[in-house]
Chains A and B, each alone.
Chain A
Amino acid sequence: MEEKPTFAPDVEQVRAVLAGDREAFAFLVRRHQDKVRGLCLALLQRPSEADDAAQDVFLKAYRHLGRFRQDAAFSTWIHRIAHNHCLDLLKQRARRAGESLDALLEKGDQVLFFPEKPAPAETGEALALLGQLSPVHRTVLTLREVQGFSYEEMARVMGSTVDSVKARLRRARRALLEKARHFFADRGVQPVEAPHEP
């Protein structure tokens, strides 16, 4: 798991941008791009669309930087923008496919996964597995397992409660294990020895 960023450097750069130093924004993009692009990819499932969405997310953040509360984490704030932006894009896709957003959020979305071109081999299998989960499950798994967010941070990003996030995470883990059954078949996974300290 990656080390959690501290607030201070972000807040300094935000203040610099608000004071007129536009180039200071590059620091924030550099620092958070991997995670924001990762969340966009997990939600949208198309690499090129995810990068365009991530660019839009940073631009939205820049435009509304004055609204960022500087006692909060910039990382949580920008992930919330990314989450909402990607949900909007998924809504548009659902509309085109004649689906409601609620139906879309709760189901594994074969309907929403239209690969424009084959993903690189190393990411293809992972994307395909993740793509079989619902956007909600993809979001909680990405925020928790990839980005290392706490339950509280996840709740802020998703506009939800900690209890709801915990329940969604449990369901998402079960769903991923279920979808990955075929994945274990050729790999002969053996049970580990007990007892074993975490």
Chain B
Amino acid sequence: MNHDTLQDLVIAWRRGEIAGAEAAAAEAHWAACPACREIWARWELVSRTVLTPAERPDGELFVRGVMARVRRESRPGAHSPLWRWAAAAVLLLSLGVWHGARRPRVSVEARTFAAELMPATYLEAETLDDGVDSAIEKYFL
């Protein structure tokens, strides 16, 4: 085991993270290595300074901020993505059925033939607004 590995083990051992053979190796090394004892002293100092929970005196303000946003939300799960997709699918289906019911039952061949019979200017003007089927409907029916 090289010294870097043993140094890592010493910190882990001092932090109570390892047991068994690894812990025994770390303990033996700790007793024999002044450099690792210094590393540990440094670690304690830096972790006390850098790795400590910060004081948060504005905790209730934070809670109020979150809850104000929560109150503007619907109940969790009430608008799940699945529900939204289902609603969109039903809406599209309904629109399709409604539109299909409105369209005249004209075959593609009849539609092409009818469009050829209509004056080009009329067809152009009408299709700009409503489409070919609507133009045929207005002209012939």
Contacts and interface: CB of A to CB of B under 8 A. Distances in A.
A187 B69 CA distance: 46
Contacts of B24: none
Interface residues of A, number: 53
Q: How large is the interface on B (under 10, 10 to 19, 20 to 34, 35 or more residues)?
A: 35 or more
Interface string B99-117: 0000000000000000000
Contacts of B37: 191-194
Contact of B49 (A30, A51, A65, A125): A125
B51 A177 contact: no
Contacts of A123: 54
Interface residue SS majority, chain A = helix
Interface residue SS majority, chain B = helix
Contacts, number: 129
A148 to B, nearest CB: 10
Interface in B67-94: 67, 69-71, 73, 75-77, 80
Interface of B: 4, 8, 11-16, 27, 30-32, 34-35, 37-43, 45-47, 49-54, 56, 59, 62-63, 65-67, 69-71, 73, 75-77, 80
